[in-house]
Amino acid sequence: MPKRKKTTAVGDTSECTARSAEKEKPAQEESGFPDDELDTLISAVDTIVLCVEDRKHIRIPEGCVFNPDLRRVYTDPKTLVARKEAFANIGVSGAVFAGCAAFSSSKPYRRAAMSVLATARYLCIVHNRDNVCKLASWFPSVTDLTLPHNLAFRSVCSRQDCDSHSGRKAHDVVLDDMDSAYLRKCPEVILGSWRELPGSAPSYRDTGVAEIECAGRFCPAVKKLEVVFAKKQVLSAVADYKYLTSLSLKFAGEGKCDVIGTNLMKIVKKLVDLERLDLQFFSNIDLREIAKNCPKLADLSLHGCTHVSVDVENEELLPKHLASLRMGLPISPVDHFVMPFTLLTCNRDTLIDLQIEGGVASKVFLEICCRTQFPSLRRLTLDTDKSVRGLCIPPQNLHDVVKNLPALKFLVTDSYDLRLFFEYYVPAVSISWCVCTVCMVERSRQHLGDG
């Protein structure tokens, strides 16, 4: 495992690895924009999708495509600028900008977007390049801002950028500077940041006990908490959050955080309403305790984690009814595969999004899928670059895999063999790389610029 590099810069809280848009924000459902289509826009260029309130009695400007059933208008930046008056009159309730230039790069483009989105409530910008505070000032009616694969991770939000929202000024936005009434109702808190790119050491900004306790006092209504930490004692402060439905804990210290000797399981026991649990770089995780204390759990992510060395074949002892699961398999000992194997099979009917890490885990899943159907699985990630021969899967067995994935819409993998097979035999399935190529190119360019 590469050594993690601590940084004082404000990092990107979104990962550049391809992941389900469903986890970004639930706003896609509100705006009528399906997650599958948002996934396909990750690699799009100069694409704008406008969601309209009323599909009837609207005049669609020339140079764009209208889908009346989905109430969406497809266009590009040039057409948006040229036809801004017409677009402003069709009643835009939300929009997706994918692979477009920064709004700050052109006044006509920015003013056209501001005019068209004057009453929009939802805005999604794929590969955003603008400061978040500036976006808030340009689009004041937007209540739900989603930035998948955000590229503006280097900019620090200053009070001067937020001048239109506050009469006070400060160098950095901190909890104490924000409106206390707003904070008391704040449902989500992110403490610390994490950025990881292949071939380079992960960089992070961790969180201390004082910050977590302070956030708890300012934001007592928090239901979603994300914490990046490097010292185990930080977990004791997380235990004070009693109303969480979503918890993400990322360990940024050396090696893995051993659950034994920490308060993690005590925290889990208190969170009976937990629906999402994201643990990264932990060891000795006991899935039986999670299943016992979190009956509402629907989303479980175990990136870089290992479980206790106890094999469990009884499905009743493991988390069930999961819609989303992210996991790998232990490298050693090889005889402790029964628990993750059972976890997959007992959730086969409910899984919608499955992320499998590593070649060994991908091999095991494909073997299971040859004989077991996953009827609801729409999005599958096999994080491996191994060939079919390297996965020890006979090519003819892949046809059985396809038959047992009747709902599959999106495949994420670095395996050329798997990509070619699905492109040829299942063309309806969209395919993506495990790491976003746009993010890689852009951040490499920024890295060279810094040098």
* Residues 241, 218: Cα–Cα separation, whole Å: 12
Q: Is the dihedral of CA 120, 92, 30, 228 positive or negative?
A: negative
> Does the pLDDT of residue 434 top 70, yes or no?
yes
> Does the pLDDT of residue 212 top 90, yes or no?
no
* Residues 81, 124: Cα–Cα separation, whole Å: 19
> Does the pLDDT of residue 438 top 90, yes or no?
no
Sheet holding 92-98, edge to edge: 65-67, 72-75, 47-52, 92-98, 122-126, 144-146
The residue type of 126 is V
pLDDT recorded at residue 242 = 85
Average per-residue pLDDT for the chain: 79
What domains are defined for the chain? 15-166 (no CATH), 179-308 (3.80.10), 340-451 (no CATH)
> Does the pLDDT of residue 234 top 80, yes or no?
yes
- The two beta strands, 72-75 and 188-191, are unpaired
Place 155 in a pLDDT band, splitting at 50, 70 and 90.
very low
> Does the pLDDT of residue 66 top 90, yes or no?
no
Place 57 in a pLDDT band, splitting at 50, 70 and 90.
low
Instruction: Calculate what percentage of the chain has a pLDDT beyond 90.
Output: 41
> Does the pLDDT of residue 232 top 60, yes or no?
yes
Establish how many alpha carbons lie within 13 A of residue 373's alpha carbon, considering only the half-sphere containing its beta carbon: 7
Provide the token pair at 43. 């690699």
pLDDT (mean) for 308-313: 66
Provide the token pair at 325. 């699961």
pLDDT recorded at residue 146 = 85
pLDDT digits (tens, 9 = 90+) for 77-91: 999 999 999 888 888
pLDDT recorded at residue 22 = 40
Place 30 in a pLDDT band, splitting at 50, 70 and 90.
very low
Place 5 in a pLDDT band, splitting at 50, 70 and 90.
low
Question: Is residue 172 exposed (0-12), middle (13-18) or buried (19+ Cβ within 10 Å)?
Answer: exposed
Lowest mean pLDDT among 42-46, 355-359, 404-408: 42-46
Lowest mean pLDDT among 325-334, 377-386, 407-416: 325-334
Highest mean pLDDT among 15-29, 169-183, 214-228, 330-344: 214-228
> At residue 400, what are phi and psi to the nearest 5 degrees?
-65, -35
As a residue count, the chain comes to 451
Q: Is the dihedral of CA 89, 94, 100, 105 positive or negative?
A: positive
Closest CA to 142 of 25, 22, 56: 25
Provide the token pair at 190. 């992110």
The residue type of 206 is D
Place 424 in a pLDDT band, splitting at 50, 70 and 90.
very high
Establish how many alpha carbons lie within 13 A of residue 366's alpha carbon, considering only the half-sphere containing its beta carbon: 26
Chain centroid to Cα 405, Å, comes to 23
> Does the pLDDT of residue 127 top 50, yes or no?
yes
Lowest mean pLDDT among 160-169, 199-208, 272-281, 442-451: 160-169
3-state DSSP of the chain: CCCCEECCCCCCCCCCECCCHHHCCCHHHHHCCCHHHHHHHHHCCCEEEEEECCCCCCCCCCCCEEECCCCEEEECHHHHHHCHHHHHCCCEEEEEEECCCCHHHCHHHHHHHHHHCCCCCEEEEECCCCCHHHHHHHCCCCCEEECCCCCCCCCCCCCCCCHHHCCCCCCCCCHHHCCHHHHHHCCEEEECEEECCCCCCCEEECCCHHHHHHHHHHCCCCCEEEEEECCHHHHHHHCCCCCCCEEEEEECCCCCEECCCCCHHHHHHHCCCCCEEEEECEECECHHHHHHHCCCCCEEEEECCCECCCCCCCHHHCCCCCCEEEEECCCCCCCCCHHHHHHHHHCCCCCCEEEEECHHHHHHHHHHHCCCCCCCCCEEEEECCCCCCCCCCCCCHHHHHHHCCCCCCEEEECCHHHHHHHHHHCCCCEEECCECHHHHHHHHHHHHHHC
Q: Is the peptide bond before 333 cis (omega within 30 degrees of 0)?
A: yes
Place 343 in a pLDDT band, splitting at 50, 70 and 90.
confident
Place 429 in a pLDDT band, splitting at 50, 70 and 90.
very high
Closest CA to 327 of 371, 358, 286: 358
Place 21 in a pLDDT band, splitting at 50, 70 and 90.
very low
Place 447 in a pLDDT band, splitting at 50, 70 and 90.
low
Place 167 in a pLDDT band, splitting at 50, 70 and 90.
very low
Q: What is the CA radius of gyration of the chain?
A: 23
* Residues 52, 71: Cα–Cα separation, whole Å: 5
pLDDT recorded at residue 324 = 96
Do 339 and 312 meet the contact criterion of CB atoms below 8 Å apart?
yes
> Does the pLDDT of residue 29 top 60, yes or no?
no
